[in-house]
Amino acid sequence: MAGLFLLLLSHHNSNFAIWYATYIFPIFPRTVGWFFGLFPFSVFEILLILIILYLLWGCIFTIINLRSMQGRVKLITCVKIISLRFFYFLSILFLIFVLTAGINYNRESYADHIGITVQDSSTNELIQLYLLLIERAEFLAEQIEIDDNGHFVLDRIGLYDHARQSMRNLNSLHGGLGTYFPRAKAPLLSRLALSNLNISGFFSPWTMEANYNGDMPGQRIPFTINHELAHVVGQMREDEANFVAYLASRNSEHVDFKYSAVYVALSYTLNALRRNLTPEQYSKLLSLLPAQLLRDFIFATAYWQAFQGPVAELQSRINDAYLRLNQQEDGVQSYGRMVDLLLAYYRAQNKISVSSNFVERENIQSIEEGGNYDHI
């Protein structure tokens, strides 16, 4: 009841949500996050495995006891006791979720915090954003390490330190994130569990851990780590966490983080362009994509397609329902709303012109409005 009351209060009273996010919530990353951060492995992953094993044992116990009258009587007694304990257990889990995540869905947005305004944008502005990102991608593509096949190679030495420093740097610039960031963790079952579920990362509100898929293509890892760290420090909405991850990674001192930022930003921008342009117009813009980015997009798409199936689809539906329950009406589409934030950010810096009637680059003319991560 306490958890539900606090959640409803934050939903109907934004001042309470802002006050809680400012003065109460920061306790959790510094205590719970600090404690579980002492373990070099994902504690949440281990707990989840233990819960699954416990449920399997419960199924075996049930089957064995259904075979006799005495066993059925014993089973009924156990069910009554376990049901009550299970209710208490779920109540505690829900309260922890509300305290470490739920209330923060109703806090001040990061866009409002740094003073940018999201507004309707034209296709012309979207193209300007794309060309802006292309220019940066071309510059960064010459600095990264690649393998014999020409694919990006992630430098994993000091990865967590670079991530935490990039988040601290962003906090120094704009505030609103705090200064303590636990180390991110790659679950042992990254490929078996996360990749098969098409998950690049997740945040555990019960252990305050930022988990990322350590098996996925490396160009996405730095951005994903910062995305999950954004959740750890209270930025729960997916578009906001993406935006924070972009700003932190873009301004990182490490080239892998810079490249990861522009890689993800371009993937979202290309998806937005594909929805707003004709196939011919889209193909013409796609042809401007640097060869390095194109190779990495193709490699990542092939990687994720290998795991497509009913399990991944079920996970997507569950995630979509979860996001909608937490006031993200677009569901999984809210991940793509980062493009709106990027447009607002660069518009505020006068790098995108609202009044511009044309865009030129290698004879690419403006197109007036009319008419999972790596797919292009």
Beta bridge partners of 185: 211
Please state whether 331 falls in left (phi above 0), alpha (psi between -120 and 50) or beta. Answer: left
CB neighbourhood size of 182 (10 A): 23
The letter for the amino acid at 351 is K
* pTM metric for this prediction: 0.87
User: Do 226 and 249 meet the contact criterion of CB atoms below 8 Å apart?
Assistant: yes
Task: Report pLDDT for 66.
Answer: 81
What distance in Å separates the CA atoms of residue 328 and residue 208, rounded to the nearest whole number? Answer: 21
What distance in Å separates the CA atoms of residue 69 and residue 74, rounded to the nearest whole number? Answer: 9
User: Do 198 and 304 meet the contact criterion of CB atoms below 8 Å apart?
Assistant: yes
What distance in Å separates the CA atoms of residue 332 and residue 124, rounded to the nearest whole number? Answer: 25
Q: Which residues contact 73 (CB under 8 A, 6 or more apart)?
A: none
Q: What angle do CA 34, 40, 41 make, to 5 degrees?
A: 105
Q: Which uninterrupted H or E stretch holds 202?
A: strand 201-204
pLDDT digits (tens, 9 = 90+) for 194-247: 999 999 999 999 999 999 999 999 999 999 999 999 999 999 999 999 999 999
Task: Using 70 as the pLDDT threshold, list the residues of the chain that sit under it.
Answer: 311-336, 354-376
List phi, psi (to 5°) of 356. Answer: -65, 135
The letter for the amino acid at 33 is G
User: Do 123 and 369 meet the contact criterion of CB atoms below 8 Å apart?
Assistant: yes
User: Do 323 and 242 meet the contact criterion of CB atoms below 8 Å apart?
Assistant: no
Helix residue ranges, H only, the chain: 2-12, 14-19, 27-28, 34-37, 43-65, 69-100, 110-114, 123-141, 159-174, 221-232, 238-250, 255-276, 279-286, 291-305, 310-325, 338-348
Mapped onto helix, strand or coil, the DSSP state of residue 42 is: coil
End-to-end CA distance of the chain: 45
Q: Provide the CA 177 distance to its chain's centre, in angstroms.
A: 16
Residues in the chain: 376
What distance in Å separates the CA atoms of residue 91 and residue 266, rounded to the nearest whole number? Answer: 41
Exposure b/e, 195-230, CB count within 10 A at least 16 = b? bbbbbbbbbbbbbbbbbbbbbbbbbbbbbbbbbbbb
User: Would you state the torsion angle of the CA atoms of residues 76, 82, 83, 89, taken in this order, to the nearest 10 degrees?
Assistant: 180
User: Do 106 and 14 meet the contact criterion of CB atoms below 8 Å apart?
Assistant: yes
Q: Is 323 exposed, middle or buried (0-12, 13-18, 19+ CB in 10 A)?
A: buried
Task: Report pLDDT for 70.
Answer: 79
Task: Report pLDDT for 82.
Answer: 85
Mapped onto helix, strand or coil, the DSSP state of residue 165 is: helix
Please state whether 363 falls in left (phi above 0), alpha (psi between -120 and 50) or beta. Answer: left
